Amino acid sequence: MEIFVTGGAGFIGSHLCERLLERGDGVVVFDNFNDFYDVRFKERNAAAIATRRGCEIVRGDLRDRAAVFAAFKKRPFDAVVHLAALAGVRPSVKDPSKYNEVNIQGTINLLDAIRERPSTKFIFGSSSSVYGANSKTPFAESDPIEKMVSPYAVTKRAGEQFASCYHSLYQIPTVCLRFFTVYGPRQRPEMAIAKFASLIERGDPVPVFGDGRTRRDYTYVDDILDGVIKSIDRCGGYELFNLGESRTIELRELIDVLAREIGKPAKLQFLPPEPGDVPVTFADITKARAVLGYDPRVAIEDGVRRYVRWRREQNSL
């Protein structure tokens, strides 16, 4: 298959490209290498795949309609996996307009390019944050989405709705995937596990917003990739799935697991809760299991062990 991957230089996107290239797919990455976090991470991710057979990297911005249309004409693509976005929850509270431009208008630009070839499958990387302060757990795809608490979540929900609308109008086969906090090698440095690991390694205080009792469903990146690839292969009609481990862990316990693996104590620094944070995320994955055959396998203890091992390998390079 020929696959167009937006955000392919990022954390999840670069892993996905590797997996697709390994199985013989052709890949065009579309990414603007923005400075949301240290761009050297993205350069390194891209360098690891750029020379592989069937891979092409296009540096372009989703907000630049002409650039999106030009890149989309490079090959007759079988599928688009749309992962490019401004991804953080907290920064979206400070700059909602920028999130709107990239995550909503950028997604519309891409869908407009796809509608000229509407047999192309569209896989959209959405987020568990759309459930917001949903108090019913675990979160199911059929739950009403009423209490979003960050602009980021609103942009992801809008992306799902545009995808659904374009499916109705142009019959683009579409799958929207709600990822539950993804971690693993190359995780974005500002995300909890990566950030905490750096602080613990240095012996610096670990900021804990709230009482440390918030719970998250953390998903190992390999499990997310399985869900994305199954979605590419089985995409038809319009579908929406949660992709999580369907297990939760308290923040304090997560920090303990991480500190144990690193082999150093964590100094906790308790701070007031941050706007945009939610008390719990917890995926009901019944639908993804039944329809996609999604079967996540990496429990948090194992995933953290693999992640810490990867960090050690990086530090010893």
Compose the 28-67 pattern: x for residues touching ligand NAD by CB under 6 A, - for all others. ---xxxx-x-----x------------------xxx----
Q: Which is nearer to ligand NAD, 120 or 181 (CB)?
A: 181
Tell me: does residue 230 bind ligand NAD (CB under 6 A): no
The Cα 145–Cα 273 span in angstroms is 22
Q: Which is nearer to ligand NAD, 44 or 63 (CB)?
A: 63
Closest CA to 114 of 123, 101, 102, 125: 123
DSSP 84-147: -S---SHHHHH-HHHHIIIIIIHHHHHHHHHTTSTTSEEEEEEEGGGGTT--SSSB-TTS----
How many whole angstroms separate alpha carbon 225 and alpha carbon 26?
A: 17
One symbol per residue from 12 to 31: x for binding ligand NAD (CB under 6 A), - otherwise; what is it? Answer: xx-----------------x
* Residue 245 found at the interface with ligand NAD (CB under 6 A): no
> Which H/E stretch holds residue 41?
helix 39-50
C-alpha torsion 112→118→122→128, nearest 10: 60
Selected catalytic residue, list 131, 152, 238, 307: 152
| Residue 227 engages ligand NAD in binding (rule: CB under 6 A) | no
Which residue in the set 5, 49, 79, 83 belongs to the binding site for ligand NAD (CB under 6 A)?
Answer: 83
Q: Give the tokens for residue 256.
A: 């303990």
Give catalytic residues, as residue numbers: 152
Residues of the shown chain interacting with ligand NAD in the complex, contacts defined by CB under 6 A: 7, 9-13, 31-34, 36, 42, 61-63, 83-87, 102, 106, 125, 127, 179, 181-182, 188
